[in-house]
Structure 1
């Protein structure tokens, strides 16, 4: 609760928190517009494969041009300005850098950047949930050994969910389920970048003035992003996915404690201590009343009869037994809130969520009949979507993780709805992300 005070004390004592941002898309833009007014935080550099895209992001988010004309990282440090580069490795190696924020959304590139940041002694805030759910447990362990923080990104839903779970456990409740809301219908699993805007209902005017990535938005729609985020939550909290993955039951905020409880007492969960998604629409397409589409939740059970009595006395909305309650946050502000993670890592040495084990995984499922010789197009594309699975089940299937389902050639046909396996793909073992993933799987099997 005193993070802002600690930031001010640190700035007076040793200077601002020096930050490097990798990736200049929508999430980064939201962070950049806020950090512009955050005293005690200095964005030393922004790295993007397209420096023009980085300049456009800074201009769009309110940065005066004179703030980002520094010719080098040394000049940026001296002047308090920001250097733009196309080299993430150069940014990671910039002198005096404290925190690297990885926002590329590319699991292969993100893995590389995280490893380099840890080796350079930088704290790493991993907005890249795709990389985190694929190899996060290994990256977190490397960071611990190196004495730096590896953190989920506050403002993104996984970190906010982890915060709710931590609250419930700290005050002594038994966590039954945690998750988020989204708009879901079963047919969305087949959505492609060509159909995504029709499902979202954005106008052409909105698309023209925004920095919207159709593959990324399609990942939210086709269920992949939900699977990725719930795997990250499972790995960061000790909650375990259901054997079936996610059911996406329709649920509004008034019914959280009734829907997200075990099936044996009338709920929709096939196990306790799990992750699940609340759909904002019913299966017939009708909107759920008081939906949680943009928010996060935790459901919990009181451990004593006295706590149940207190629920009733203080107006806690519960199920009909009075024992199951819930807490929710109606929306998340994504990159606008990212500064909490940056400052927490730098001044407290504390992560806003971090993998503690490998419990959830995201397996690749064919959206259509796939043919040998085709090149996989990855998250949010035309060929595959991600499905949540317990990590042990994924290993037993020898499933190809969703994070590696791009850029590699298929060597076997895969039927529509089929799970892709390592043996279905010509994988390049020289890729660092592939090496770390194989290491994680071997460790878990061992």
Structure 2
């Protein structure tokens, strides 16, 4: 990674900066916008948002130089590039179709929009950083394949936790270690699953001044609190790193950094995980509400195992915090800077031709789960809302119950009553298969259903 800034500077000196288009000027998008003009060799060519005023407000709020953007929002993206100004548009398709654009950053958080934009990037041969984890989990295993067929790079977002976890997993495997468990920290208590946009701020404790800043969407923040976002991110990690979700969903154990190796090893070795090679989210809160000592609320981690006595002794010699046996150790990063670090993905794609994490298979899925008893005729309101939260499941288990993905649990009307904590299925809702996101998801389910079946047949034959 040490050469990225050097290579970007070379592009800048050659007058060939990377031209970036971003879709979505919310919190994550604003964080990238605030840094985008600070790296030689990268230019923010255009911002697409449903509201031009919101995009302009983001530029002003983040300190973007006034002489570097079109405050009239009238220039096309191509005209803006020629004028050396960031253009603003409400037409995301036009942004993607702009010939000069190299990389698209998809930051809408809307899974249907994410799928549409990814397919347009395939059509127009634009690399895409899918910051939209909702879309990535809903259809990423198929979108990544379509991107490869189109000759473009489909990447996770550096700065977001899945990409940082993928980096730690890659480090471990490259160094020759077995990955025992990988994941992140968060703030979670069991009752948070049932939080709604009306209760979210009571749990977070933000000040009125913070909430008035314009960066805080209650439903979006509630999706972090109720466990949905954690489930989505761990599904993305499982799919990108070929790791296994816990069979009964995330446990959110209260674990500090010193206890990671002891707690997050297999039960057969005195830990609490089902097996090696899993994902898990650790909470910074004890179940009684006390803060965990040396918690990892903002960070990411990987637990590894020494492959032999020699390496085990090296763990001890170099001061690694291990479990009581000395065989298991952890590496972690205590913080992540989200959109402020996103430029690393752009640089990696454009000067190395490599994604910063990428969906490889379909190992994990996130299924909509009732927050309360739901009646026939009720309308689902999606991630972070009042009706459902997302629960992580192995993808094959989700297929076996026809699980309704959380990314599509919005706007549909229930045709069957659902009990609290029950996982919803396609059979519970009235839906239309003609919607693009539904069609793409159904296409993916059909493909992987056949592949799962073939794997089982080959597995049986392999043991015969």
The answer on 1:198 being equivalent to 2:202 is: yes
CA contact (8 A) 2:366 2:391 kept: yes
TM alignment of 1:3-82, pairs within 5 A: 3-13=4-14, 15-69=16-70, 71-82=75-86
- Which residue does the alignment assign to 2:151? 147
Deviation at residue 426 of structure 1 after TM alignment:
1.4
The answer as to 2:427 corresponding to 1:426 is no
Give the distance between the partners of 1:90 and 1:72, measured in 2 at CA: 9
Return the offset for 1:65: 2.8
What is the deviation of 1:348?
Answer: 1.2
Q: What stretches of structure 2 of length at least 5 have no aligned partner?
A: 451-464
Q: Is the 8 A contact 2:227 2:389 kept in 1?
A: yes
> Matched residues in 2 for 1:158 and 1:234: separation?
9
Residues of 1 paired with 2:147 and 2:445: CA distance? 19
Q: 2:348 aligns with which of 339, 344, 351?
A: 344
- 423, 427, 435: which one aligns with 2:439: 435
SS at match of 2:212: helix
1:417 and 1:71 map into 2 onto residues whose CA distance is 50
Question: 2 CA distance for matches of 1:427 and 1:161?
Answer: 35
Report the Cα offset of residue 74 of structure 1: 2.2
RMSD of Structure 2 on Structure 1 (CA): 1.0
2:169 equivalent among 165, 168, 176: 165
Distance 2:39 2:11 in 1: 13
Equivalent pair of 1:10/1:347 in contact (CA under 8 Å):
no
Q: Distance in 2 between matches of 1:199 and 1:115?
A: 38
Q: How many residues align?
A: 446
* Residue 251 of structure 1 pairs with residue 255 of structure 2: yes
Tell me how far 1:80 sits from its aligned partner: 1.4
Residue 102 of structure 2: aligned partner = 98
State the Cα deviation string for residues 281-317 of structure 1 (Å, max 9, x = none): 0000010011000000000101111000111111111
Given that residues 73 and 95 in structure 1 are in contact (C-alpha distance below 8 angstroms), is that contact kept between their aligned partners in structure 2?
A: no
Q: Secondary structure at the match of 1:131?
A: helix
Counterpart position of 2:264: 260
CA deviations 1:374-417 (Å, max 9, x no partner) are: 22110000000000000000000101001000111211111111
Distance 2:115 2:308 in 1: 44
| Distance apart, 1:14 and its partner CA | 5.8
Which is worse superposed, 352-361 or 405-414?
Answer: 405-414
TM-score (norm 1): 0.99
CA distance in 1, matches of 2:122, 2:14: 25
Q: SS state of the match for residue 138, structure 1? A: helix
Give a deviation string over 1:241-285, Cα, whole Å, max 9, x none: 111111111000111111110112221101210000111000000
Further displaced range: 157-166 or 40-49: 40-49
Q: Distance in 1 between matches of 2:78 and 2:190?
A: 52
In structure 1, C-alpha distance between the alignment counterparts of 2:397 and 2:188, rounded to whole Å: 24
Contact map agreement 1:400 1:420 (CA 8 A) in 2: yes
Q: Which residue, 117, 121, 132 being the options, matches 1:113?
A: 117
Q: Deviations over 1:2-40 (max 9, x none)?
A: 111111223334601001000000001100111121111
How far apart, in 1, do the equivalents of 2:373 and 2:199 lie? 18
Question: What is the deviation of 1:209?
Answer: 2.2
Q: Which residue of the other structure, out of 267, 272, 286, is the alignment partner of 1:282?
A: 286
1:148–1:349: 8 Å Cα contact kept in structure 2?
no
Q: CA shift at 1:357, angstroms?
A: 0.2
Larger CA deviation: 422-431 vs 151-160: 422-431
What are the equivalent positions in structure 2 for 1:165-244 lying under 5 Å apart?
165-244=169-248
Report the equivalent of 1:413: 417
Secondary structure at 1:352's aligned position in 2? coil
Deviates more, 1:70-79 or 1:84-93: 70-79
Q: Which residue of 2 aligns with 1:137?
A: 141
Q: Is the 8 A contact 1:249 1:268 kept in 2?
A: no
Q: Which residue of 2 aligns with 1:368?
A: 372
**Offset, 1:62:** 0.7
Partner secondary structure for residue 209 of structure 1: coil
Q: CA separation in 1, counterparts of 2:214 and 2:285?
A: 25
Note the C-alpha offset of 1:118: 1.6
SS of corresponding position for 2:366: strand
The SS at the match of 2:43 is strand
Structure 1 unmatched runs, 5+? none
1:333 to 327, 331, 337: 337
Distance, in Å, in 1 between the alignment partners of 2:368 and 2:171 is: 33
| 4+ residue segments displaced more than 4 Å | none
SS of the residue corresponding to residue 361 of structure 1 reads strand
Structure 2: how far apart are the matches of 1:47 and 1:210? 18
